[in-house]
Structure 1
Amino acid sequence: MSSSEPRTADRVARADRLAPVEVAEVLALARTAGDADGADPLDEHVLLRLRDPEAAAVHLVARATDNTLTGYAHVDTTDPANGIGVELVVHPAYRRRGTGRALARGVLVAASGPLRAWAHGDHPSAAALAVDLGFARARVLWQLRRPLTAALAEPALPEGVELRAFRPGEDDEAWLAVNNAAFAQHPEQGRWTLADLRVRLAEPWFDPAGFLLAVESATGRLLGFHWTKVHERPGSAPIGEVYVLGVDPGAHRGGLGRVLTAAGLAYLRDRRGLDRVMLYVDESNTPAVALYERLGFARWSAHVNYQLG
């Protein structure tokens, strides 16, 4: 979510589907805003839905009089019981002219039910707009980073546990069961389906060698995992990510989470040649924050979820 002071608002149109050329425009707008703000305005879930022509959503598109795309809002109505998801971005060159406010008002018209809006980067303008529209600050997601050039802990697996790479098509259902159990209380990660998993396995960035599974040596039972990701962007040095890290609730023994973290970091450094890594963690998840801080991570930025209704 980003904001602007009213001047001359651009025209806002609503659509249930975007043409491929419009999707390309939105993606280019998001990259431009991300480069200017230091935080990508649309999260992975929205980007995947944008590229899926069958994904149901409400799209609000703002254009200047010369038809230049100046802003975009994505309204995800697929799970209204848990809140309608909203993400909004305004082109940096077209801010402070009422575009953000016009898009936000369009969202209020398009959606009926509780709203959840992410402000990536926690910009003051987004906070001001949220307050003006009656949204309450409800959740904070931190991005933590650390250099991979600093010393890493050596992963020492508990007795009877071994690491191996994820096998697409064979491990899908077992992984999904452990993931959803490990994140049962998480508002997004704990509700993944096989379709959610498989669309990510088909992404260009997916590398099974960087999807590490901890399994019981005697039975092959999945105990935990560390799924890494590498972000590559033209003009920027690549950065690794602790994409998803989880341990089966019945396997919290021997510091398996810490070992899996260390193993993934070593993979990103030694196998992918990276010198920095990031991750996302809820501010309220104090045990995880403490673990990552002990492993050398420090706060980089914040992403705020605002709710209405």
Structure 2
Amino acid sequence: MLTSRWSSTPTPQEADRVRALVSAVAAADGVDAFAEPARRDIAALGGAGGRPRSRHLLVHDGTDLVGYALLDAEDLDDPVAELAVLPERRRRGVGAAVVDAVLQESPGARFWAHGDHPGAARLAERVGRRRVRELWRMRRPAPGHEAPPLPELVVPEGVTIDPLRVGRDEDAVVAVNNRAFSWHPEQSGWTRADVAEIEAESWFDAAGVLLAWDTATGDLLGFHFTKVHEVSATVPEPLGEVYVVGVDPAAQGRGLGRALTLAGLHHLAGRGLRTTLLYVEGDNAPAIATYRRLGFERDAVDVSYQR
């Protein structure tokens, strides 16, 4: 018999079981069932840390944890749920029980399905959620191909590109990010604390955060955070990532997006990384065209379902 319980503070034992379930799902599917902010919350379970408005649904069959959902209510007007079902218990009603419990708790919740799993599409249809947003993961080189040579980095006139100076440049980065991504549901609204959280990550490397400055005014025009993924259940070899590229809207048209992207790609190549990935909105045709010219092609899709 399935039972479910919501918790803001799972016990250390429950936290270990959640992490074991999440790892089993990643190993079975070859893709993480949770986005990076949720993975940070899961890593912090059973101790201090995590976002204060995150809630955790634990679904048991007897004493076995068979389903889990994380409900992110940081934005009270846009609660977001991500979920996982123990692989050997799929197609036995566990996913439906998880989704129903989430909607009972938060009727307006939207759901992310990472990897566009067909089971997620069936669950979404069952509860009247429709596919409203796609987030593409693009990869260089494209699967089954050799990476083309990187174009030469040409920095626009009047611009310098330098690494982040920790403790000095964060406020400028926050300001540019929030102007560049004012429209974006996840990337907008950065604070100094958000940057500090990134700087505390094990993968953070200030040398891989590249900032474009106007040499005449000293203003920050844009930035590129790169990231390196270590080997894990879903990462068979170290991977580079174009983590986020932001350009101040007032500086658009100067070729900064391409220059910053290339600067980051050259940095990652210099670290010996053979494969680089990035995430881009599926309806952002200009960005997708730019990335394809640099040798990226789509190899996975995350889908947001909402009513």
Secondary structure at 2:157 match in 1: coil
> Residues 150 and 35 from structure 1, CA distance in 2 versus in 1: closer, same or farther, beyond 3 angstroms?
farther
1:133 aligns with 2:130: no
1:90 aligns with 2:82: no
Secondary structure at 1:220 match in 2: coil
1:69 aligns with 2:65: yes
Secondary structure at 1:224 match in 2: strand
Letter in 2 for 1:293: R
> Are the aligned partners of 1:145 and 1:276 in contact in 2 as well (CA < 8 Å)?
yes
> Are the aligned partners of 2:57 and 2:70 in contact in 1 as well (CA < 8 Å)?
yes
> Are the aligned partners of 2:147 and 2:295 in contact in 1 as well (CA < 8 Å)?
no
Could you tell me which residue of structure 1 aligns to residue 302 of structure 2? Answer: 303
Letter in 2 for 1:218: A
Q: TM-score, normalised by structure 1?
A: 0.91
Letter in 2 for 1:24: D
User: How far did residue 78 of structure 1 move?
Assistant: 2.3
Q: Which moved more, 1:148-157 or 1:210-219?
A: 148-157
User: How far did residue 23 of structure 1 move?
Assistant: 2.7
User: How far did residue 54 of structure 1 move?
Assistant: 5.7
1:274 aligns with 2:273: yes
> Are the aligned partners of 1:49 and 1:55 in contact in 2 as well (CA < 8 Å)?
no
Q: Provide the rounded CA distance (Å) in 1 between the counterparts of 2:115 and 2:51.
A: 29
Q: Provide the rounded CA distance (Å) in 1 between the counterparts of 2:41 and 2:52.
A: 6
> Residues 264 and 125 from structure 1, CA distance in 2 versus in 1: closer, same or farther, beyond 3 angstroms?
same
Could you tell me which residue of structure 1 aligns to residue 22 of structure 2? Answer: 30
Q: Which blocks of at least 5 consecutive residues in structure 1 are unaligned?
A: 1-8
Q: Provide the rounded CA distance (Å) in 2 between the counterparts of 1:24 and 1:196.
A: 26
Could you tell me which residue of structure 2 aligns to residue 120 of structure 1? Answer: 114
Q: Provide the rounded CA distance (Å) in 2 between the counterparts of 1:22 and 1:196.
A: 27
> Are the aligned partners of 2:72 and 2:79 in contact in 1 as well (CA < 8 Å)?
yes
User: How far did residue 162 of structure 1 move?
Assistant: 0.9
Count, aligned residues: 296
CA deviations on 1:99-123 (whole Å, 9 max, x unpaired) are 11111111011114x2211000111
Q: Provide the rounded CA distance (Å) in 1 between the counterparts of 2:259 and 2:92.
A: 50
Matches within 5 A, 1:177-216: 177-216=175-214
User: How far did residue 140 of structure 1 move?
Assistant: 0.6
Could you tell me which residue of structure 2 aligns to residue 160 of structure 1? Answer: 158
Letter in 1 for 2:135: L
Matches within 5 A, 1:44-63: 44-50=36-42, 51=44, 52-53=49-50, 55-63=52-60
Could you tell me which residue of structure 2 aligns to residue 17 of structure 1? Answer: 9
CA deviations on 1:232-267 (whole Å, 9 max, x unpaired) are 124621111100001111112331111111110111
User: How far did residue 220 of structure 1 move?
Assistant: 2.6
Secondary structure at 1:117 match in 2: strand
Q: Provide the rounded CA distance (Å) in 2 between the counterparts of 1:38 and 1:253.
A: 39
Letter in 1 for 2:101: G
> Residues 104 and 173 from structure 1, CA distance in 2 versus in 1: closer, same or farther, beyond 3 angstroms?
same
User: How far did residue 32 of structure 1 move?
Assistant: 2.0
Q: Which runs of 4+ in 1 moved over 3 A?
A: none
* RMSD (CA atoms): 1.6
Could you tell me which residue of structure 1 aligns to residue 168 of structure 2? Answer: 170
Q: TM-score, normalised by structure 2?
A: 0.92
Q: Provide the rounded CA distance (Å) in 2 between the counterparts of 1:234 and 1:87.
A: 20
Q: Provide the rounded CA distance (Å) in 1 between the counterparts of 2:58 and 2:127.
A: 20
Secondary structure at 1:218 match in 2: coil
Letter in 1 for 2:238: P
User: How far did residue 125 of structure 1 move?
Assistant: 0.8
